[in-house]
């Protein structure tokens, strides 16, 4: 079909009638299809089932240095886990703390401690400032934004470009305002755009001048090993870049195995400079006597080495890549060349980011919900849930079956077209 923008009023009205008839057919089926969160499907979870057999009542539950993982202690995680996951983060094991099952918890706690105690190099706790601000590349991760809202941290939207956040905006803001204390980053296969920061962006983040001496990059490398192609994106090492720039304390890195093994029983990790970690350890010592060391041991025994981890992730890709391919195929078939939507084709991660015409995202999501397709709320990818152009929608292809996914995307594309036609008719 032609570009919708070139259609006459009568052609648009005829198309509108046709689309609405199709929509009512779907609506009458009383469907219940959920694409709202980036969850692994059952087949992905099954890949790690054998991990449950690696630690049994007959197993040795001691670490390489003789620590009994059943007991108290081990604030920073067991040595084997620190060494293994340091390879994923591309840092020295001494710069790693292995936590519980959730990197989001580690991020929340790091922000919370900074509010009440500052970070290494802070003159006062962040809460002493009348306002604390974070830069938020958007579209971005809604749970990062929720942390800021919880602590009443003002969020500043930074535009996402093809190679990462708009660094002209970032450098100007951090150079002028000492109340800008942090910046959220999902640097590889970003949520939801699937963008990997370029070498130039990483270098500029490491080298930029900040008015706040205690500014921190919250580097959430959640999708570091979640590739969908045989030629994965490469991300420059921010840890090394910050050290070489003379700003070794600038970055705090986070990751986890939540979408590698079991989301509810994974292993989270944090990496930072020795100065940062020394500062954190004193507070963590009061907060906890130690994480679940048996689960850490279970993960290390299951993977054994990075080659096995790579093979494991290839199995994940073989399950979810057909789903991504199907979504992209349907988007191209149903929306391509119609001038009403654009989207990213990611090389990894868990999402596909689509932009409708301005002012159409909320209505599209609402219409899809009424037809039985639950999507991530429109606006969720922006601070305060407010997309200034009301156009971004995050699609999460991983959880549904291929059949369910196909039907959900067909309905979604239909809703995009209906709402777009309504907008174009209103402009005629």
* Average pLDDT estimate for 355-366: 98
Q: What pLDDT is stored for residue 315 in this prediction?
A: 98
pLDDT surpassing 80 at residue 1: no
Q: What pLDDT is stored for residue 111 in this prediction?
A: 98
154-161 vs 133-138, strand pairing mode: parallel
Q: What pLDDT is stored for residue 59 in this prediction?
A: 86
Angle, in degrees to the nearest 10, between helices 402-427 and 306-335:
40
**Which residues, other chains included, contact 74 with Cβ-Cβ below 8 Å and sequence gap of 6+?**
67, 290, 291, 293
pLDDT surpassing 80 at residue 354: yes
* Average pLDDT estimate for 204-215: 98
pLDDT surpassing 90 at residue 217: yes
- Beta bridge pairs of residue 253: 219, 271
- Asked whether the beta carbons of 115 and 128 are under 8 A apart, the reply is no
Q: What pLDDT is stored for residue 369 in this prediction?
A: 98
Helix, strand, coil fractions of the chain, as percent rounded to 5:
45, 15, 40
The SS3 call for residue 92 is coil
* Average pLDDT estimate for 34-60: 94
pLDDT surpassing 70 at residue 177: yes
Q: What is the pLDDT of residues 29-41, one digit of tens each?
A: 999 999 998 999 9
* Average pLDDT estimate for 185-192: 98
pTM over 0.85: yes
pLDDT category at 2 given cuts 50, 70, 90 is: confident
The SS3 call for residue 255 is strand
* Average pLDDT estimate for 126-144: 98
pLDDT surpassing 90 at residue 363: yes
Tokens 């000492």, residue located: 178
pLDDT surpassing 70 at residue 191: yes
Share of the chain above pLDDT 90, in %: 96
**Residue 63 and residue 50: Cα distance in Å, rounded?**
20
pLDDT surpassing 70 at residue 407: yes
Q: What pLDDT is stored for residue 425 in this prediction?
A: 97
Q: What pLDDT is stored for residue 88 in this prediction?
A: 87
Q: How far is CA 342 from the centre of its chain?
A: 20
Task: Report the chain's mean pLDDT, rounded to a whole number.
Answer: 97
Tokens 């400079």, residue located: 273
């Amino acid at each position: 079909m032609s570009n919708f923008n070139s259609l006459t009023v009568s052609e648009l009205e005829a198309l509108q009638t046709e689309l609405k008839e199709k929509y009512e057919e779907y609506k009458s089926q009383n469907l219940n299809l959920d694409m709202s969160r980036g969850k692994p499907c059952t087949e992905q979870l099954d890949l790690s089932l054998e991990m449950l057999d690696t630690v049994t009542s007959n197993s040795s539950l001691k670490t390489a240095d003789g620590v009994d993982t059943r007991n108290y202690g081990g604030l920073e995680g067991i040595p084997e886990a620190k060494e293994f996951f340091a390879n994923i983060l591309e840092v020295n094991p001494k710069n790693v703390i292995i936590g519980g099952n959730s990197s989001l918890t580690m991020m929340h706690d790091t922000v919370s401690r900074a509010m009440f105690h500052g970070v290494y190099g802070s003159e006062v706790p962040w809460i002493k400032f009348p306002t604390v601000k974070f830069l938020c590349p958007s579209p971005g991760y809604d749970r990062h934004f929720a942390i800021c809202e919880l602590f009443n941290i003002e969020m500043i939207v930074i535009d996402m470009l093809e190679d990462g956040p708009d660094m002209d905006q970032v450098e100007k803001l951090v150079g002028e305002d000492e109340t800008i204390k942090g910046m959220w980053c999902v640097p590889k296969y970003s949520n939801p755009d699937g963008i990997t920061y370029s070498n130039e962006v990483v270098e500029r983040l490491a080298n930029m001048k900040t008015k706040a001496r205690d500014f921190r990059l919250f580097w959430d490398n959640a999708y570091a090993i979640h590739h969908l192609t045989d030629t994965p994106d490469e991300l420059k090492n921010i840890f090394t870049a910050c050290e070489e720039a003379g700003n070794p304390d600038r970055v705090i890195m986070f990751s986890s195995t939540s979408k590698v093994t079991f989301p509810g029983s994974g292993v989270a990790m944090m990496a930072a400079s020795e100065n940062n970690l020394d500062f954190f350890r004193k507070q963590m010592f009061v907060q906890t006597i130690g994480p679940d060391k048996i689960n850490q041991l279970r993960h290390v025994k299951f993977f054994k080495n990075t080659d096995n981890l790579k093979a494991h992730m290839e199995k994940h890709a073989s399950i979810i890549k057909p789903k991504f391919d199907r979504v992209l195929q349907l988007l191209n078939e149903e929306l391509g060349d119609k001038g009403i939507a654009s989207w990213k084709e990611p090389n990894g991660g868990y999402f596909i980011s689509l932009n409708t015409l301005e002012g159409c995202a909320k209505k599209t999501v609402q219409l899809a919900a009424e037809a039985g397709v639950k999507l991530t709320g429109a606006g969720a990818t922006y601070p305060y849930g407010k997309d200034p152009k009301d156009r971004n929608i995050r699609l999460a292809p991983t959880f549904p079956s291929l059949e369910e996914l196909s039907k959900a995307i067909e309905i979604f594309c239909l809703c995009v077209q209906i709402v777009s036609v309504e907008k174009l008719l209103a402009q005629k």
